[in-house]
Amino acid sequence: MPEIADDDPLPEDMLLHGVDAGLLWVAVDEGEGSGPVAYLLAKNLDESHHIEQLTVHPRYARQRIGSRLIDACGEWAMACGFGSLTLTTFRDVPWNAPYYRRIGFVEMPDSQISPALREIVQQEHDARLDRWPRVVVRRMLTR
């Protein structure tokens, strides 16, 4: 999937909007060469808190940074009254759907996908992300 690997990072204005809206979580390495090493950008849908992008620098992979960002996002979403986190991802890429299944996400049946989520799926189709199998997943939020 070199077409995906070579994608540009999210535009700065999109990230700044996430900051302004309180919907961007960032993990920082505070050691030598400090700086951001991962981020999670989300958006509020009517029925769920939706993760738009989760990115962890490869040098920091396998340290549970992504799952901790998801947990922090989930805590915030619960405090705001959301009952679930949702996201769309590649079905067969090991660090995508299989990873999310390991941390509590389950594939949503088509009948449960809301109009807002369908719109996101359509946008991904329009961007040709569905050249590879994709899936909508959800993790219910409980205390």
Lowest mean pLDDT among 1-5, 77-81, 121-125: 1-5
Q: Of 122, 40, 141, 132, which Cα lies nearest the Cα of 81?
A: 141
The string of pLDDT tens digits covering residues 18-43 is 888 889 999 998 777 678 889 999 99
Q: What is the pLDDT of residue 39?
A: 92
Distance CA 110, CA 46 (A): 17
Output the pLDDT for position 54: 92
Q: In angstroms, what CA-CA distances link 24 with 70, 71, 73, 132?
A: 11, 13, 9, 27
Q: What pLDDT, in 10s, does the model give residues 56-103?
A: 888 898 889 999 999 999 999 999 999 999 999 888 877 788 889 999
Residue 54 identity: L
CB 86 within 8 A of CB 137: yes
Q: Is the pLDDT of residue 1 over 60?
A: no
Domains of the chain: 2-140 (3.40.630.30)
pLDDT at 5: 45
